[in-house]
Structures are given as structure tokens and as C-alpha cells.
Structure 1
Amino acid sequence: MVEKLTSLGAKVNECSRERQEALLEVKETRRKLAAVEEQNYRILKQKDAEIQHLQNCLLSMPGVQIPISSSSSNNLEFSEYSCEEIKAANFDFSDNFKLGEGDYGNLYRGKIRQTIVAVKILKETAFQGRQDFQTGIDILKVVRHPHLIRIVGDCSERGCILYEYMSNGCLADHLSCKNAFPPLPWYARFRIAAEVCSALQYLHSFMPDPIFHGYLKPHNILLDENYVCKLSDFGLFRLLSKDVHSESEPKGAFFNMDPEYLRSGEYSTKSDVYSLGIVLLELLTGKPALGLVKEVERALQNAHFDKILDPSAGDWPFAEATQMAYLALVCTDPERKKRPDLQPTVMKMLNQLRNMFAATNLGRLVESGGKSEPATEEIQVPSYFLCPILQEIVQDPYIAADGFTYEKEAIQGWFDCGHDTSPMTNEKLGSKNLIANFSLRSAIRQWQERGHILDI
């Protein structure tokens, strides 16, 4: 009996020793995998930097058109993920993968199903509960617009949202030239202003209730590989708890937020108009929001507005810059009822500013005194090249039942909002079927091949 017990004890000890060795092997394997992943991450960052450098060179040459390509995340269908999957995507929220810190959560770069994504981790005290969170996500995941970042997944267990990854950072980085991001030229700023307004207008038209952005600021205006802007953090009002909304000083967005909302706690579409006005002033001056409205007002009154225009943007067209400044001041009127509507007032004026230079042939530059100046010849953009909703040259034209041709993503987004009427005539549509307009697509390509610039 003693011998059997001794033998069993020896076997137990042997098994225990082998188990410890196996655990050590597992830990060593994990360490090696982490080291390999970290090395791959550094290589990927280096390649991103090289690509960004090349794109920055192209961006500094306004006559060069960068073709629009779909982000790799566009191939990722919306999915729900477990907390373990989210942790594995960025090595348990490692600081090496952190993209930024916000008022209501942190943003991480992650890799899921061989696709790079941005993972927004909301603070545990920020969201109201799993059911309310999921209800909000169900609404936001169908929101589609060319200038809204796409939600590709979520984790209700942890309260996090997965977005498509944007390789060129945020507008704030470019305005401050932070993290080696280059300044944006003035014509790109006019375009971005119109794109932001277009996205807000779409959110406000959502049915049955409008979606407020709520936190519009340069940090939430992201730029993709082609410097096309996309808004992030839209709709968080639907997800965050009332305690979060009642915070007296939301640090990052405080000076961009509607003063009436800060006083009353009541938000409206005109609150987003106020934030848009502040963003317009930041685009013009490159200055932070604090005290910016008063500074621009004084500059205009004292006839030295040209002195506060951001010099890193190049030689501003003064009349048009002044026009946008006055529009921004109207948008930031302290009284909400005095602010203009996005449609048609603000959208129309920003589109005029953007299209004024999108229609100009910037391909032929005249080198003068070390400066590159755009040629003076202007090219008229045919009106039927523009999407009636976005007022931008269509890339993927489709005909709706009302006979008008739209950008496919824009008209599809209109339908997804619950509309069954024509955006142009307001009459009920016989169907929601769409037909590709190959002839218009061909005409636009031929027009482009003749040397006209479609996207600046």
C-alpha cells in the first residue's frame, strides 16, 4: 500500500512538473507572438508613414488628382464581437495601439479578421446599459453617408464601437501640424467645410427623429487616405447616459458647444450649427476655439482679418475667406433662433465656395517667385454631374424612380432614413429601385480625361 501511494505521489509530482513546463512554454510562445506582432505593427506604421509622405507630396500639388479608393474596412460586414475578441484585437488595450483619448472613452487601433479598424472604448460610466446601447447601435449602423465614418461592429458587453480606420488622422492634427501631419491648403479647407455640412445635414434629416452630432470639433473630423473627411462620434447622444450629458465641462468639446445647450441642457439641430460655425473659424485661422469668435469679429471690424488667416494654408482668396468668416459668425450667434438652417442657407454658400475652386483647372501651375499659383482659366462643371443631395460630382451615379440621378450611397442613405419620397419633388416614389447610369458615368470619365479635376 505504501509503495502504491509512493508511486502515485511520484506520478502526481511528475504531472505537476510537466504542467509547469507546459505553462512556461505557453507563456514563452505568447511572448514571442507578442514580439512578432509588435514588430509587424512597427513595420506597418513605417509603411503608413511612407505612404502618408507620398500622399502629402501629392496634396501639396493641387493639380494632381488622387483617385478615391475604398478603405479595406469597407469589406468588413457589421458584426458583434465578444470582449475577448476586442482585447485580442489590440493586445488588451495596449498603449502601443492607442490612437487617442477622449472625454467619453479611448480610441485604439486594432486588427480583426485581417482588417485594421479603430476601436472606441466608452468609459464604463458613460453608457446607459446593454439594451439601450444595442438599441442605439441598431440605429447608427444603418446610417450611411460618404462623409460619415462607418460603424463596422460593436461589443455591448464592454460598451465599445468599431469604426473603419482613417489613415490620415484628424483635422486637429493638420491644423496644429501635430504628429508630423502637414497643414492643409486653403482649397482643401473649403472642401472639408462643405463635406462636414453635408454630413450634418444628412444626420438632421434622419427619420423618424433627427440625429444630433453633439460633439463636433476638429478631433472628430477624420481624414482618409485621400484626405476626404468623415465625421466620427456622431449619435453618441443616443448611447450615453444622462449623467454624461449633464457634465458641466466636457473638456474637449466645451468651447465648440452651443452656449444655450450648456445653459439649458437642451440640444437641437441649431446646436450642431453653432459647432459647425466654430469649425469654420478654426479652418480659416488654424487657431483653437477659445475666444475665437470675438477675435474674428474684432479682426473684421478693424479691417485686419487677413492678419489672422492661417498662413500655413497658402495664399487665401481674401473675398471668399471673408465670406466664410461672416457665415461662421452667423452660425455662432448666441441666440439659437438667429442661427441659419443648414439647408439651404449654409449648405448652399459652402457649396458655392467649394465648387468655385473645384471647377477651376488647378492642373496647370505657374511658377512665380518661388510660389505655385493656380492658372486663371476656369472650367464650368455641368450641373447634371452633381448629386442633387450632396451637391458633389457623382462617383457612382444611379437613377431613382423620380428620374433624377444621385450618388448611390446618398440616395440609399435617404431611403434607409425611412423616406419614401423624392428628395427633389417631395412626391411619393413608385418604388425604391435604382438603375445604374452608365452613360453619365462615362461622360464624367471623358470629361475628367480631358484634364478637368473632379476632386480637389
Structure 2
Amino acid sequence: MEEEQRLEAARFSEEAALALVEKEKAKCKAALEAAEAAEKVAQFEAQKRRAAELRAIQDAEERKKAGTSLSQGGADIRYRKYDIEEIESATHDFANNLKIGEGGYGPVYRVYEYMANGSLEDRLFMRGNTPPLSWQLRFRIAAEIATGLLFLHQTKPEPLVHRDLKPGNILLDRNFVSKISDVGLARLVPPSVADSVTQYRMTSTAGTFCYIDPEYQQTGMLGVKSDIYSLGVMLLQIITAKPPMGLTHHVQRAIDQGTFAEMLDPTVPDWPVEEALRFANLALQCAELRRKDRPDLGNVVLPELDRLRTLADDVSPAGGFGFGGSTGSSPLNSQSSQDVFSDLQSGYDSSRSRSSTTSSSYGGRR
């Protein structure tokens, strides 16, 4: 009997021990599972943290690149780049009826408004038997050109130097409102250069001979005042309607000899000689051989041309178009610099296009 009791007690003890073992196993398993879950959570959190750190690094790099682009004038913010699909759309797949000529970089296509009165050069030399421009309209056109040029020179982050400013690149719409065209030779001057010496060296000069800044031609140093020289020669042509070769010398000699009135375009009978003389002296200052001697466009040139434009407006009856021999002029008053400037992504020499000049865009296939 006692033996049976001992066996029963042993059996209960064994069962209790087994139950305890199972319980401990369950606890151990639960602990392992909890540890595995905690490890997975830790790994997930670590992955999230690493991903966040990578994103932060990438964002910082992108911000740094953007800042560098802003400070150095990155290519993607300096100008608008058009892909071939956009050009094909603008030219109607290079339609022949939109082709207006050949330029230095390929065919020239009309993609913008038609400039009904061609170029300033056409009108100054009365091509196509057109009537001469009145002095009022000439003063107004000069101020519009200076306004548009100032817009180019004040572009951000880099000033834009046209490099080929001449009457053939000034287009006139049906109301004789002028627009600067043909920026195929234009250059963006790096901001670091623009902020320091306002000029920078080019490996080769470009432009039209009689209008090229002598310093730029000799040294390759390009700056916004390179355009001022071209402007000066063109201003003299506006009042004389004479070829550019040696024009500054001829005008200066006429002033010195007291025969300036004889230099004025004889197709205009009612020149205000005193104001035209001030206009000519300003043009001669712009065409000084040394760049440092040329006046500032915004502070000197444009204010004087605006004064002359106001004078022209005051003596012009409303509604006239400003042909020579009359007192009329363009019915339009001063316009914004962006309206005056007509870049139009031309990229060629509009003087190579036919006289029915239009604003244009390069549409040549590579």
C-alpha cells in the first residue's frame, strides 16, 4: 500500500515537473518570439531612419546644386531650351511657307508676329520706295531700342550682351514700333564677371565689322558697353541715313566745322537741328574708342533719349505714322522693355533674310 502511494506521488511529481518544463518552454518560446518581434521592429525602424537620412542627404545635395546653379548661373535657368518637338510644332514641321531665308546657323522660319515694316535699315534707306521716317519717329525708335537693350543688360542672373546691334537687326511692326531681333551672337556674361569687371574674355570676336566695339575686337574682352558702341553708330545712322563706315569721324568733323546740319538726312525737311545735335553728341559719346569713356545706358543714354522722345510726342499730332516731311509719328507711346525686346530664339543674322523681315526662330534639323 505504501509502495503504491510512493509510486503515485512520484507520478504526480513527474507530471508536475513535465508541466513545469512545458510551461518554461512556453515562456521561453514567447520570450524568443518577443525578442524576434522586437528585433524586426528595431530593424524596420533602423531602415526607416536610414531612408530618412538618405533622403535628407539627397535633399541637401539637391539644394546645394540649386544654390550653385543660382550663384553661378546654371544652364537650366539661364535660358529657355526648346526640344525638337516644340520647334517642329512652331514651324508646322518646317513648312516651306514659313521659311523666310537662310541664316548663319541654318534656315530661318517665321514663328512670331509678322513685322510689316521690315527692318530699320530698310526704312532708313527707303528700300522698296518707302517714304522716309520723320525725325519724331526716329527719336522714338532710338528710345525704344535703348529701352530694349537695357532690358537685355539687366537680365538676371547674368546680363545678356547682344554683340550684333545694327539697323538690320531692329524690326518695325505695322505701327513702326521697334523690336530688337537676332540674338544669334548674344552672350551671357557670367555673374561673377558682371559683378566685378563688367567684361569678360571671348576666344573669338563676332558681330558686324563697322559696329563691333574696337576694344572687344582687339582684346576679346566682352561687356555690356560693347553694345553701347554699336548703339552709338546706329544712332548716328538714324539721323543721317548714311552707311556706318567712318560715320563717327564724318559727324565729328561736321560738328567741329559747323556744318552738322548738312549731315542730317536730307529727306526730312524739318529737323530740329539743336536737338539733333544733342542726339549726335550722345551717339558720339557712345561710340568712343575706349570703353571706359562711353556713358552708362540706364543713367545717361536712356534718360536723354526719353527726353527727346517726349519732345517728339509733344509736337506730333495724334494718329500720324511719322513719315518724313510731315509732323506725324507713331501713334504708340513708350512701351515696356520686354515689349521692345524680341528675342524669339532667332539665332541667326536677320540681314540674310529677305526684306519682308519677320521675327524668327532657328528651325534647322541637326
- TM over 0.5, shorter chain: yes
Q: How does 1:345-356 map to 2 (within 5 A)?
A: 345-356=300-311
Matched, 1:301 2:302: no
In structure 2, the residue matched to 1:319 is 274
Q: Aligned partners of 2:326 and 2:127: how far apart in 1?
A: 25
2:147–2:337 CA contact under 8 A, matched in 1: no
Q: Aligned partners of 1:364 and 1:174: how far apart in 2?
A: 20
1:211–1:235 CA contact under 8 A, matched in 2: no
Deviation, 1:107, is: 2.9
In structure 1, the residue matched to 2:25 is none
Deviation, 1:86, is: 6.7
- SS class of match (1:313): coil
Structure 2 residue ranges without an equivalent (≥5):
1-80, 189-201, 340-366
Equivalent AA in structure 2 for residue 310 of structure 1:
D
- 1:282 counterpart (237, 240, 250): 237
| Aligned length, in residue pairs | 238
Query: With CA pairs under 8 Å and 6+ residues apart, which has the higher RCO, 1 or 2?
Result: 2
Q: Aligned partners of 1:275 and 1:347: how far apart in 2?
A: 15
In structure 2, the residue matched to 1:107 is 108
Change in CA separation of 1:211 and 1:104 when aligned onto 2, cut-off 3 Å: same
- 1:203 counterpart (135, 139, 152): 152
1:186–1:314 CA contact under 8 A, matched in 2: no
Deviation, 1:183, is: 2.1
- 1:265 counterpart (185, 209, 220): 220
- The alignment's TM-score, normalised by the length of structure 2, stands at 0.58
Q: Deviations along 1:211-241, whole A, 9 cap, x unmatched?
A: 11111001110011211000012374349xx
In structure 1, the residue matched to 2:124 is 175
Q: How does 1:4-403 map to 2 (within 5 A)?
A: 80-82=83-85, 91-92=95-96, 99-108=100-109, 118=110, 162-234=111-183, 236-238=185-187, 250=207, 253-363=208-318
Change in CA separation of 1:303 and 1:409 when aligned onto 2, cut-off 3 Å: closer
Deviation, 1:307, is: 1.1
Deviation, 1:175, is: 1.2
- SS class of match (2:144): helix
Q: Aligned partners of 1:340 and 1:349: how far apart in 2?
A: 11
Q: Aligned partners of 1:373 and 1:184: how far apart in 2?
A: 10
Deviation, 1:193, is: 0.4
Equivalent AA in structure 2 for residue 346 of structure 1:
V
Name the larger-Rg structure: 2
Deviation, 1:312, is: 2.0
1:171–1:222 CA contact under 8 A, matched in 2: yes
- The alignment's TM-score, normalised by the length of structure 1, stands at 0.47
Structure 1 residue ranges without an equivalent (≥5):
1-77, 109-117, 119-161, 240-244, 366-370, 375-391, 396-406, 411-456
Q: Aligned partners of 2:101 and 2:187: how far apart in 1?
A: 22
Equivalent AA in structure 2 for residue 307 of structure 1:
E
2:117–2:173 CA contact under 8 A, matched in 1: yes
Q: Deviations along 1:387-443, whole A, 9 cap, x unmatched?
A: xxxxx9678xxxxxxxxxxx6968xxxxxxxxxxxxxxxxxxxxxxxxxxxxxxxxx
- SS class of match (2:253): helix
Q: Aligned partners of 1:163 and 1:394: how far apart in 2?
A: 22
- SS class of match (1:267): strand
Kindly indicate which of the two structures has a greater share of residues assigned to helix: 2
Q: Aligned partners of 1:364 and 1:166: how far apart in 2?
A: 20
1:175–1:286 CA contact under 8 A, matched in 2: yes
Change in CA separation of 1:171 and 1:372 when aligned onto 2, cut-off 3 Å: closer
Change in CA separation of 1:409 and 1:306 when aligned onto 2, cut-off 3 Å: closer
